[in-house]
Amino acid sequence: MSDQSITLSEGQLDALVAKSAHIGAKQALADLGLHDENAATDIREIRSILDGYRIAKSGFLSAFGKAIAVCVLAIIGFGIYLGGGLNE
């Protein structure tokens, strides 16, 4: 290995970095299987699936919270019933 230095202008360095980034991005997309003309459609479908998941998750959490509240109120009501009411 030699001790030679290479000097690049700012424009040359920018072009080298841009070309390297472009090649790296293309390789990353190819590794993910998103390198063909269907890639945009695939990304839209993935986003749609994620949106549906988020909606379902928030709906589930809301329903779960309501179910817990109803159970707590039922337990309180049952306790009052077993105790003979509020004014004994």
Tens digits of residue pLDDT in 48-68: 999 999 999 989 989 999 999
Given a cut of 60, whether residue 47 has pLDDT beyond it is yes
Distance separating alpha carbons of residues 1 and 78, to the nearest angstrom: 85
Which pTM was predicted?
0.49
Distance separating alpha carbons of residues 67 and 3, to the nearest angstrom: 73
**In what helix (H) or strand (E) does residue 69 lie, and over which residues does it extend?**
helix 39-82
